Structure 1
Amino acid sequence: MVTLTNESPGAATPFAPPAEGELVVYRGLTLFDGTGGAQRPGVSIVVDGPVIRSVGDDADTAAAVAEGAEVVGLDGLFVTPGLVDAHQHLATPPDRPVAEAVLRRLVHSGVTAVRDMADDLRQVGDLARAARVGEIAAPDIHYAALMAGPGFFDDPRTHQVTRGAVPGHVPWMQAVTDTTDLPLAVAMARGTSARAIKIYADLDAPLVAAITAEAHRQGIPVWAHAAVFPATPGEVVAAGVDTVSHVTLLAHEAAEGPLTSYRDKPPVAHESLVTGEDARLDALFARMRGQGVVLDATAGMWASDALAGDDPESGERARRQTELAVALTAQAHRAGVELATGTDYETPPGEPFPALYEELAFLVKRCGIPVRDVLRSATLVGARSAGTADLTGTVEPGRQADFAVFGRDPLADIDHLRTITLTVKRGRRFPREAYAAPSPRETR
């Protein structure tokens, strides 16, 4: 092989994971490890490059120190696994500086992974690569390629994410009918390096089931909208999907008319559903629990400033949707459904902390879910939703060194997330004090 003397070394990777053999001992911390055990004080985490070597008492670190490990004192501080935002959109429309600013804020806020729920994957794929190799400060990005019925592709967002091509006819966003060659369609989606197929809208139950079966045959999960129209929530779950998004869409299991299309949603039995005791939803949640379907609730989305609206009609809609989200999310939790913590919006660029903090607070304060359960949702269940629970989501030996350090105990008060002092992602440290607010070019 000929080596070219002018070969470029490539872009700089200032945020690359450390190499195997670079040992760091984090000592003196109080640990919530995400496995379900009790919080433990006086813990040390020994990290070897990008991986956790051991987790134990402070007294058990002598061997690592003898090997020349760097020692980082975390006395009086609190550690959780890295947080996961299970519902992000980083490139609708594509704007690289804005996306990088969002990602930089996330990783400096304890977020070590996000699920991107279908965008322009030409850009998202490169953001994921840049995050993985350390060109940019960012969580790991796990993303989906979208499939929907042809009627969906006059949505303006589909044009934003396929500029230069034809909406519905690109590998990352495909229009599907009962004549589609599904093995080829799924293979094309996998060719984008997508981690999952997202099933979105305007597909009937047999087609949702067929896409899901083919995706699973090819070894790729399916992340679906909770109602696909005309496929009902019950039909989506029966198809065997791995996650469903948007708890308020589950209300269409109790719709007052047939489901037809994404744009023509029938009314739902609001007064019955906001009691949180609807038998139709109980049956659906029981099936979700039995099949291990994760619910990406996006529960606080309608309570956000992003969706509050600027007129009385939209404000009332947001209020009713919020009321519905509170009731159904609490009902799902009582039924034992695994909840992931997605957002589907972001706080304004000038805000110091991401929307994920608002979602976690909403689950605790409005839905009444215990903080311990919410933190488990934001860590281990988030990793499950992204298909990475074998690698991350808990602080254990052999897992990726993904964890967050807080000045005050988030189990005592979910608002203590705002005392974040350090994020460790794949062993690389991101001190909160190093966070730089976005420049004017990085804001919309």
Structure 2
Amino acid sequence: MARMECCDRSIAFRSVTVIDGLGGPARPGVTVVTRGESILAVAADDAVPREMLDAAQIVDLPGRYLLPGLVDAHQHIATPPDRPAAERMLRRALRSGITLVRIMGDDLRQVADLARASLVGQIDAPDLRTAALFAGPSFFTDPRTVAACAGAVPGEVPWMQAITEDTDLGTAVAMARGTGAAAIKIYADLPKKLVTAVAEEAHRQGLGVWAHAAVFPAGPRDLVEAPADVMSHATLLAYEGVAVRSFAERATVPIEHARFRGGDDPAVRGVLDAMRRRGTILDATGSLLAHAEGFDEDDARTTAALVRQAHRAGVPICAGTDYETAVDDPYPALHEEIEYLVERAGMTAAEAIRAATLIGARAAGEGDRRGSVESEKLADLVVLARDPYADVRNLRSVEMTVKRGRVRSRDDLAECPVTAPAREIEPGGAQVIGEVGGANPR
């Protein structure tokens, strides 16, 4: 069987059931044609022009399920930097169907090179979208900032900046842009006035605004109004209306769990209604609480209640993790988060898949070109052996990942060394297809 030498040739994935990421029903008997990095056509098998098929390499996929590539909307890979570990983590992500990862504040010196290496095919990895971190000066005693700024002073580097009323925000945001960041992450210890000023300047310079759902003293409503584009950690919504002076102080202020046991909390309802109106995305990270230190079962129940309330309120929710599974686990943490959204947050499988595809792409600022199986979007796809609508755990049946039109079998990616040129499989028939977190969420 001829080896595919580059992704410029058309590939036709035939007779597959398509779940397009838009939340609708599965469509059997569909052909998806890609050319180069893009999807060329999505149509019923008998509606694809013969000349298009004649020009394509055929991959027959009867009985298989094709989805958009998955998106982990909250991850860390360089706090502190460990290049071999990061490459192993990213390779497992790609072989598990993840084609895009939102990096939420790390040592961007290393992350930028990993992003470049992934883009040009030097390593097998998802694409990376990164954020530069802004916080009040008091936050930069945190040991994680020291780890992510080795050789420099935390708070005084372009990717991790201490912000005060005297900061020249135009210059600060421009410095962050120079790291290759797609967004500013508003992390901690900032009042509403500065949060709003940072958000306005970031948007003026074309960057997204990603933020914790509370950064203390600024609370959830302040972040919505700033406005943040994405707010992380549903747990922090519980602090709406609670006076907390800093992120460190938050650990000493217990959540009032009783507020969330009798139904929707009125104060949080107002925040969620504002998020829905603005289209603010919630990066829930609900499954994190089972893995991070400093949380108990009351915290987990309250977080699940808040995610359910956000879902009922119509807030768009993406699937982010902020932790990773053990290195010997065959699948990464994203699959646990997707399962959490179904099993504890009340989503259907279709809604959870949309959270992990289209909404995740939107959270990363990439929704116009990723996250759904549509013509002219990037050819980021995953092929499964079993139906994820029947059981969302069937997302753990990955056989093939397609990133920017390049095809990788799960088995092929398992064999790659830590650093190696990207390799491609021979598509031609289905038989060929083969701790972070801590007490403070990050």
Give the TM-score normalised by the residue count of structure 2: 0.91
Determine which of 248, 259, 262 is the counterpart of 2:244.
Answer: 259
Determine which of 269, 273, 285 is the counterpart of 2:272.
Answer: 285
**Residue 58 of structure 2 is aligned to residue 71 of structure 1:** yes
Q: CA RMSD in A?
A: 1.8
Q: Deviations over 1:150-189 (max 9, x none)?
A: 0000000000011111110000000000000000000000
| Aligned amino acid, residue 302 of structure 2 | L
For the 8 Å contact 1:234–1:253, the answer to whether it is kept is yes
**Residue 105 of structure 2 is aligned to residue 105 of structure 1:** no
**Structure 2 CA distance for partners of 1:114 and 1:167, relative to 1, 3 Å:** same
For the 8 Å contact 1:300–1:325, the answer to whether it is kept is no
Cross-structure match for 1:370: 348
Cross-structure match for 1:137: 124
Determine which of 302, 305, 308 is the counterpart of 1:330.
Answer: 308
Describe the SS at the equivalent of 2:31.
Answer: strand
| C-alpha deviation, 1:275, in angstroms | 3.6
| C-alpha deviation, 1:252, in angstroms | 0.5
Q: Deviations over 1:270-321 (max 9, x none)?
A: 11124441111111100000011000000110123xx2x5xxxx5xx33122
For the 8 Å contact 1:350–1:437, the answer to whether it is kept is no
Cross-structure match for 2:29: 42
| C-alpha deviation, 1:267, in angstroms | 2.8
**Residue 206 of structure 2 is aligned to residue 206 of structure 1:** no
Describe the SS at the equivalent of 1:290.
Answer: helix
Q: Deviations over 1:67-90 (max 9, x none)?
A: 2x1100110001111100000001
| C-alpha deviation, 1:366, in angstroms | 1.4
| C-alpha deviation, 1:269, in angstroms | 2.0
| C-alpha deviation, 1:94, in angstroms | 0.1
For the 8 Å contact 2:400–2:408, the answer to whether it is kept is yes
**Residue 412 of structure 2 is aligned to residue 424 of structure 1:** no
Cross-structure match for 2:162: 175
**Structure 2 CA distance for partners of 1:79 and 1:118, relative to 1, 3 Å:** same
Matches within 5 A, 1:432-443: 432-436=410-414
Give identity over the alignment, percent: 50
Cross-structure match for 1:401: 379
Aligned residues: 415
| Aligned amino acid, residue 215 of structure 1 | A
| C-alpha deviation, 1:341, in angstroms | 0.3
Stretches (4+) displaced over 4 A? 437-441
Cross-structure match for 2:136: 149
| Distance in 2 of aligned mates of 1:29 and 1:438 | 28
| Aligned amino acid, residue 259 of structure 2 | S
Cross-structure match for 1:389: 367
For the 8 Å contact 2:257–2:299, the answer to whether it is kept is no
For the 8 Å contact 2:184–2:209, the answer to whether it is kept is yes
| C-alpha deviation, 1:64, in angstroms | 1.6
For the 8 Å contact 1:226–1:245, the answer to whether it is kept is yes
**Residue 335 of structure 2 is aligned to residue 350 of structure 1:** no
Between 1 and 2, higher relative CO (CA 8 Å, sep ≥ 6) is seen in 2
